[in-house]
Structure 1
Amino acid sequence: MRDSGGAVVRTGLVGLMVGAGVCYCIYRVTARKRKNQGTAAAGTEGETLQKEREGGAAPWGTHGEVAPEGSLLQRVSGISVLSSTDQKDSSSFQQGMDLPKSPHGLEMHHIQKLIHLLESTEDPSIQEQVLVTLSNSAAFSVNQDIIRNVGGLSVVGKMLSVPVTNVKEKALNALNNLSMNIKNQEELKIYITKVCEEMDSSPLNSELQLAGLRFLTNMSVTNAYHSTMTSSIQCFLQLLSEGNERTQVQVLKVLVNLSANPTMTEHLVNAQAPFLLSLFDSCIHKDVLLRVLMFATNLTKYMKKDKRATLHDQHSEDSILSVLWGNSTLCAQKLASLLYHQDTEVKEQVAELIMQQC
């Protein structure tokens, strides 16, 4: 009887996979048509999902090429320039410095004055206003280089130690924009551990926490600094479990980036995430669902290539390894249900995940 029951289950699963394969082919044809029509727009947040780095031509891919330096600005999430109303708040210290109205118009001597002021003042209100202006100016690639060349990266980084939440948040926003530059990342890597600690200790769903996650998203665009974030993987997963949609989306950007690095697979699959399959549900917000599916797809892809990960002695029943592959029937059922999702991108990603599991 046991053998008969097992055969029924296996037959059902095979049928599901075959049906999913048909769906997959249909969805990929649709995707290719959209690609050929050139509808994908580069530089938008949605185009940067895979490792936050593949660009507009192939959204939701699983290969994640390293972004050329010149295009990095278009491939990661930045803080937009403040509105004119917000800029008026900075007038108190700008008036005596002869600064242009637009951050794009800042010249090197303007930036040098701002950095000197930031370095010399202990007034949190002035620190905050200077950081806002530097953050705005760093939205432009030319200013990212200038700030680095005049020694501004370390000055901004020191603001993370100021015991004022608003100052830390504005410093992280500035570092976020400055980290959209590969040369800057080489210097900013020393702040990854500090930012991970701040993110972990910050109030859940706070702006400070989100600012830290944005910085970590940019710093995880390439594989270069992933190992520095290894000890924070469990914290990321806890935020995914407990955070609101904004936090979930932002932390998933980091997790997807890490999951596209084969050397991080074992660290990720042995982390505790008993809730993960609960996110494989049509009621979950699309931005969260797509990223969860991409995260699972990347892990599945590299698990297939490296069978040693499945033999790790330390994984528990709550590990991602056990959740995704220890209960394949439940996972298959959830994926089959998601094949009927109303969003085409979700269905395509589900199909891709199923194909990786075959």
Structure 2
Amino acid sequence: MRDSALKAGLVGLAVGAGVCLALYGLASRRRRRRKGADPGERDRSALLRAASGIPLVSSSGRREQAGMDFPNSPHVLETDDVQNLIYLLESTKDAAIQEQILITLSNSAAFSINQDTIRNLGGLPVVGKMLSVPVANVKEKALNALNNLSMNIQNQEVIKVYIAKVCEETCSAPLNSELQLAGLRLLTNMSVTNNYHYMMTSSIPGFINLLSAGNERTQVQVLKVLVNLSANPAMTEHLLKAQASFLLSLFDSCIKEDVLLRLLVFVTNLTKHMKKDKNTVNYEYNEDSVFSVLWGDSTVCAQKLASLFHHHDAEVRLQVAALIRQQC
């Protein structure tokens, strides 16, 4: 009974800023009073005893989408509060507790000052280690936390070491799952600049596969990554070599505008870079490659674009016109 009550209290750890601050204030005071004792054991005991009085709260109202401003989260966490959160995350093996702590860190990381504090206290590697926990919910919450933390350029320099792992988890996750979407959101942030594109090169076939097999939400998210990659001339050849026999089927008025617009930008970027670098055209491409599908039979592509030129959405028509101008 005692163990059950303790676990129930810990699972509620991440809800309510006032409760969190009270918890860690108490924990910090207990740590200061117990000088001379074994810090690891004493710290953990104090945190667990303080947490045991927190009631379990339903998770139905949690706001977890990366990059959002969470009105119920603390605007600024004290250094001791962040330090204790990181300590708990690093020391516990309970997946439910890990998940709740990651939600708290993710929410707090919506504010830039907390992003710096978490980095300065060594929290990024602790969150990154959660990507190796064999529990999908924990991985998803870790990706959400890293996504918010990646809004900070200095944090990106630390997070970059996890790009290969994130790509692997994203491409192998259950199709259209929240875990997959969380990975794609983080990769979108990490691909805004050209700095880390080379770390994603080997995953381009996986991204293309998600574009083919995924639902609309997945297609939009993966296209955000592909558009970022296509803006970098150094990635042009890698993208043109990718196998995408289905690509022209997406150039259709029945495709949702959010998908279609990003696809058109993706192709426009590749076209622009090809015009500047003739070497990409001279490369020998497979018949199902992006290059061969789009430009192997230019008549088919031209017919598709001509049809889209009469699309009901003005933005789509403008982007089609921009692509046609690049091809001239």
From 228, 235, 250, the counterpart of 1:279: 250
How big is the shift at 1:211?
0.5
1:11 alignment partner in structure 2: none
2:91 alignment partner in structure 1: 120
2:34 alignment partner in structure 1: none
How big is the shift at 1:98?
4.7
1:155 alignment partner in structure 2: 126
Q: Which runs of 5+ in 2 are unaligned?
A: 1-10, 27-70
Q: Determine if the alignment matches structure 1 residue 355 to structure 2 residue 318.
A: no
1:248 alignment partner in structure 2: 219
CA contact (8 A) 1:293 1:353 kept: yes
TM norm structure 2 = 0.80
From 269, 273, 279, the counterpart of 1:298: 269
Q: Determine if the alignment matches structure 1 residue 97 to structure 2 residue 21.
A: no
CA contact (8 A) 1:179 1:219 kept: yes
Q: C-alpha separation between the residues in 2 aligned to 1:90 and 1:263?
A: 43
Change (3 A) 1:331 1:101: closer
CA contact (8 A) 2:127 2:142 kept: yes
Q: C-alpha separation between the residues in 2 aligned to 1:143 and 1:308?
A: 46
3-state SS, counterpart of residue 223 of structure 1: coil
From 77, 102, 105, the counterpart of 1:106: 77
CA contact (8 A) 1:131 1:170 kept: yes
C-alpha RMSD of the superposition: 1.8
CA contact (8 A) 2:170 2:183 kept: yes
Runs (4+) of structure 1 exceeding 6 A deviation are: none
1:57 alignment partner in structure 2: none
Partner amino acid, structure 2, of 1:106:
L
1:203 alignment partner in structure 2: 174
From 301, 305, 310, the counterpart of 1:335: 305
From 194, 202, 220, the counterpart of 1:223: 194
Q: C-alpha separation between the residues in 2 aligned to 1:215 and 1:103?
A: 23
CA contact (8 A) 1:103 1:133 kept: no
CA contact (8 A) 2:227 2:262 kept: yes
CA contact (8 A) 1:141 1:181 kept: yes
3-state SS, counterpart of residue 318 of structure 1: coil
**If you compute each CA radius of gyration, which structure gives the higher value, 1 or 2?**
2
From 151, 165, 168, the counterpart of 1:180: 151
3-state SS, counterpart of residue 217 of structure 2: helix
Q: Which runs of 5+ in 1 are unaligned?
A: 1-86
Partner amino acid, structure 2, of 1:151:
G
Q: C-alpha separation between the residues in 2 aligned to 1:326 and 1:200?
A: 28
How big is the shift at 1:142?
1.1
3-state SS, counterpart of residue 187 of structure 2: helix
3-state SS, counterpart of residue 103 of structure 1: coil
Aligned residues: 271
How big is the shift at 1:103?
2.4
Q: C-alpha separation between the residues in 2 aligned to 1:88 and 1:101?
A: 15
Q: C-alpha separation between the residues in 2 aligned to 1:249 and 1:89?
A: 34
1:309 alignment partner in structure 2: 280
How big is the shift at 1:113?
1.1
How big is the shift at 1:199?
1.0
How big is the shift at 1:112?
1.1
1:345 alignment partner in structure 2: 315
Deviations 1:13-66, CA, capped at 9 Å, x for gaps: xxxxxxxxxxxxxxxxxxxxxxxxxxxxxxxxxxxxxxxxxxxxxxxxxxxxxx
